[in-house]
Structure 1
Amino acid sequence: MYIYNTKNNMEKVLIITYYWPPSAGAGVHRWLKFSKYLSEYGYRPIIYTPNNFDYSLKDKTLELPNIEVIRKPIFDPGHYFQNFFNLKLSQGLLEDNKGFFEKVSTWIRGNVFIPDSKIFWVNPSFKYLKKFLDKNKVRLVITTGPPHSMHLIGLKLKKKLNIKWIADFRDPMSNWDVINDFKPLKYSIKKITSIEKSILKNSDIILVTNDNLAKEFSEEVNEDKIKVVDNGTDFSFMSNGKYDKSFKISYLGSLHKFRDPKIFFEILKELINSNDGIRKNLKLYIAGPITKSILNRLSGDDILSRYLTYKSYISNEETFKHYVESSLLLLLSNKDSITQTPSKIYDYASSGRRVLTLGKKNKPLDFLLKDLSLDKRIDYDDKDSIKKIILKSYDDFKKNKKPIKRKNLFKYERKFLTKNLSEILNQI
């Protein structure tokens, strides 16, 4: 076990991540927050990330002072395809009805660039980091994906140097629902599965965000090397905010083919027509990347468009403001995934507001909902249950109900989770 009391004596840990501020969006927060607190537990994070990242989402307020960040150029052919054809695949926007160029681009993404188009950053990163690790006496390396090419940098370093390597999977790899959208050939599936197995077998520790993914990976490696570390939340952002003057329903995240709550919007329209209070007081707020087809459907709807406010991106600080103002927060789990847990669940829970969760049966998600005293998950097409939650939240709004205190939320506070992470690092 390593115990350090001063900055100079801290154990250095290199974190290889594609996402780092000023990049914004869901992929950045997990290791941004762990890095913020690691020094309190004896570890000095050093971040390795691209310096010419295509910032489709940008938020300078996320940047952390006093953390060493190494930025190196990346060649990513995926950006050339997206810019040339004006696509938004980097934001995870998966359309049901793709145009010709989108079909070509996604096919290339799934069958030429394996595991992803960041693959060309692996060799130059390995060459630089091999010298850097040796010169700076760094023995701990963490890679986080997606993009899963980051793990290949760790794999090459592990094979050449005497390091301890932790591979962090924020999402699945070979069994990721996004992969199927790329129409992979049998060869492509075989190759990405082979890469995944190599990462799992050669890493010293595997980090995942839920038990289902841990169980899936345990079929390939000893379960003792797999550790579950949740994404968590920051209480420091939360305040005792008041409800908006309107009955505000908010969704803060991406909407695409795997997260398209059509039935929810239909029920909302029905309630607008049948409930005078909701018709007069409703405010529908959505912020995040949305596919063109879904945005057109919402903005073109004669009823919903009158209540809808949409922002393609808002800052992290502003996001939390909307959490506490809302009477109801919509949480969406990918329709075909049981190995992913929506990272918003922790922030939603800490807001104290009612949460409507839509998705298929998912044991880790269902456990979290129960543990955090949130309403049970509802299937996307369960009209009666969806309607009941909306009406309950409207009743909360009318009564100006106080925020709900979540008794187990402390277990998911990011500083507490970083302590758990440090204990894992202490053991290797």
Structure 2
Amino acid sequence: MQLKEKLGVKWIADFRDPWTTIGYHKQLKLTEKSKQKHKALEKLVLNTADDIVVTSSVTKTEFEAITNKPIEVITNGYDYESVESKPLDAKFTIAHIGSLLSKRNPIILWQVLSELVQEHEGFSKDFQLNFVGAVSETVLQSIETVGLANHVNNAGYVSHKESIIYQKSSQVLLLVEIDSKETKCIIPGKLFEYMVSNRPILALGPQGSDVENIIKETNTGNYFYYTDYKSLKSTILAHYKSYQNKNLEVHAIGLQKYSRKSLTSKLASVLKKP
């Protein structure tokens, strides 16, 4: 901000995350005076910058209530990675790639999977839940409580290249976000890698999130709220039947706009603005 004032240079403020509405902001134990200072600084930055870049449509809407300056949404994106091609898993695998910590513990999903295991002998025989990355003990305990422990394969940390192989060989890819209004603007980087893995995404999160809109827009999977018990169960069962028939597929559309090449071109257009 001072460089803009002293030198008269153009300033583009790039927000990788929101400011005063980010999830952990409430946990900072700020005084009322400090909270007001943050809000004042946020408003000052948003109204001083020439252009603003955000990674989320939700964040754009929030900022539009504070400033009239132009705001461009440029999300994170994907690069196509060349990895060894492997066949799809023989089992009906649902895989979560990345850390799954205690705050993102989808009890509803574990209950649905437990019911399907109990109600369908074939599902019980074929189903496997793959975790690739750190998983909290709270999550593992929840899974054990509903009787799914024997269906879990906990691979732990693997290289990024190996994680891509897991993604491309899994039957279904799992994406979980905390059920909170503060997480509506969170778009995990792995979403974009999931999208180009050519496997159906099963996502849970808050209503009205950017992830929900992207998955629907690109036809890359299904998004559920934490109250969608019946539809979550019926979708997983439908995926399983497609797996049995060897036609569990995804027909994605419009992925090109999320390539890093396209996103960089979009950023270049912002930089070239007079």
Report the TM-score when normalising by structure 2. 0.87
Q: 1:304 aligns with which of 128, 131, 148?
A: 148
User: Is the 1:338–1:361 contact (alpha carbons within 8 Å) kept by the matching residues of 2?
Assistant: yes
TM alignment of 1:392-403, pairs within 5 A: 392-401=238-247, 403=249
Percent identity over the alignment is: 30
Q: 2:89 aligns with which of 224, 232, 244?
A: 244
Alpha-carbon distance change, 203 to 316 in structure 1, aligned in 2, over 3 angstroms: farther
Which residue number corresponds to residue 317 of structure 1? 161
TM alignment of 1:25-64, pairs within 5 A: none
Alpha-carbon distance change, 283 to 352 in structure 1, aligned in 2, over 3 angstroms: same
CA shift, 1:262, in A, is 0.7
Which residue number corresponds to residue 286 of structure 1? 131
CA shift, 1:156, in A, is 4.7
Which residue number corresponds to residue 331 of structure 1? 175
Q: 1:168 aligns with which of 3, 7, 14?
A: 14
CA shift, 1:363, in A, is 5.4
Larger relative contact order (CA 8 Å, sep ≥ 6): 2
Instruction: Find out whether 1:234 has 2:79 as its counterpart.
Output: yes
TM alignment of 1:338-417, pairs within 5 A: 338-362=184-208, 364-401=210-247, 403-417=249-263
- In structure 1, C-alpha distance between the alignment counterparts of 2:20 and 2:119, rounded to whole Å: 46
Query: Aligned partner of 2:107: which letter?
Result: K
Which residue number corresponds to residue 265 of structure 1? 110
What SS is found at the alignment partner of 1:260?
Answer: coil
Q: 1:205 aligns with which of 46, 51, 70?
A: 51
Instruction: Find out whether 1:188 has 2:28 as its counterpart.
Output: no
Q: Structure 1: which 4+ aligned runs deviate by more than 6 Å?
A: none
What SS is found at the alignment partner of 1:387?
Answer: helix
CA shift, 1:162, in A, is 4.4
CA shift, 1:327, in A, is 1.1
- In structure 2, C-alpha distance between the alignment counterparts of 1:384 and 1:238, rounded to whole Å: 37
- In structure 1, C-alpha distance between the alignment counterparts of 2:39 and 2:103, rounded to whole Å: 22
Which residue number corresponds to residue 25 of structure 2? 179
Alpha-carbon distance change, 206 to 238 in structure 1, aligned in 2, over 3 angstroms: farther
User: Is the 1:283–1:307 contact (alpha carbons within 8 Å) kept by the matching residues of 2?
Assistant: yes
Query: Aligned partner of 2:171: which letter?
Result: S
TM alignment of 1:105-124, pairs within 5 A: none
User: Is the 2:239–2:248 contact (alpha carbons within 8 Å) kept by the matching residues of 1?
Assistant: no
Alpha-carbon distance change, 222 to 362 in structure 1, aligned in 2, over 3 angstroms: same
User: Is the 1:213–1:340 contact (alpha carbons within 8 Å) kept by the matching residues of 2?
Assistant: no
- In structure 1, C-alpha distance between the alignment counterparts of 2:231 and 2:29, rounded to whole Å: 35
TM alignment of 1:116-155, pairs within 5 A: 155=1
In the alignment, structure 1 segments of 5+ residues that lack a partner are 1-154
Report the TM-score when normalising by structure 1. 0.58
Alpha-carbon distance change, 396 to 158 in structure 1, aligned in 2, over 3 angstroms: farther
CA shift, 1:284, in A, is 0.9
Alpha-carbon distance change, 177 to 294 in structure 1, aligned in 2, over 3 angstroms: same
Residue-by-residue CA offset, 1:90-130 (whole Å, 9 max, x unaligned): xxxxxxxxxxxxxxxxxxxxxxxxxxxxxxxxxxxxxxxxx
Question: Alignment RMSD, CA only?
Answer: 2.5
